[in-house]
């Protein structure tokens, strides 16, 4: 999907540029014409070495689980996992 399709409330992921791997998952908390902002809520703990040492876990939580703006004209490896409001309950 294009970055133009990303809207408020969408669940998105940041993919690794060379592997079929999701690095982080987040929710779009702001959507404007030129950019959108993702609040990252989880990350790939194995990829980011959480189990190697406590310092990795602390740094990862401080620096990976942040709010990050993305320009819609720049492809940042962001993919839509689930569109807001397009869910069936049953």
| Strand partners of residue 43 | 24
Total residues belonging to the chain:
90
Residue 89 has pLDDT above 60, yes or no: no
Mean pLDDT over 39-44 rounds to 93
Q: Residue 90: its pLDDT value, please? A: 45
Taking the C-alpha atoms of residue 52 and residue 5, their distance in angstroms, rounded to an integer, is: 37
Q: Would the pLDDT of 37 be above 70?
A: yes
Q: Where are the alpha helices (DSSP H) in 1-90?
A: 54-63
- Cα angle 65-28-63, degrees, rounded to a multiple of 5: 15
Residue 85: pLDDT over 70? no
Global confidence as pTM: 0.82
Torsions phi, psi for 59 (to 5 deg): -65, -40
The yes-or-no verdict on residue 23 having pLDDT over 90 is yes
Short-list 33, 45, 37, CA closest to 67: 37
pLDDT(2) > 60: no
**Residue ranges covered by each domain of the chain:** 3-82
Q: What is the pLDDT of residues 61-77, one digit of tens each?
A: 888 899 999 999 887 88
Q: Which residues pair with 19 in a beta bridge?
A: none
**CATH 2.30.30.30: does it fit domain 3-82?**
yes
Share of the chain above pLDDT 70, in %: 90
């Amino acid at each position: 999907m294009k970055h133009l399709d990303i809207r408020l409330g969408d669940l998105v992921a940041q993919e690794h540029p060379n592997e079929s791997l999701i690095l982080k998952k987040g929710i779009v908390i702001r959507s404007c014409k030129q950019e959108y902002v993702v609040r990252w809520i989880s990350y790939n703990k194995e990829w980011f070495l959480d189990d190697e040492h406590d310092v990795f876990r602390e740094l990862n939580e401080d620096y990976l689980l942040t709010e990050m703006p993305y320009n819609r004209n720049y492809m940042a490896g962001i993919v839509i996992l689930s569109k807001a409001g397009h869910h069936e309950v049953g």
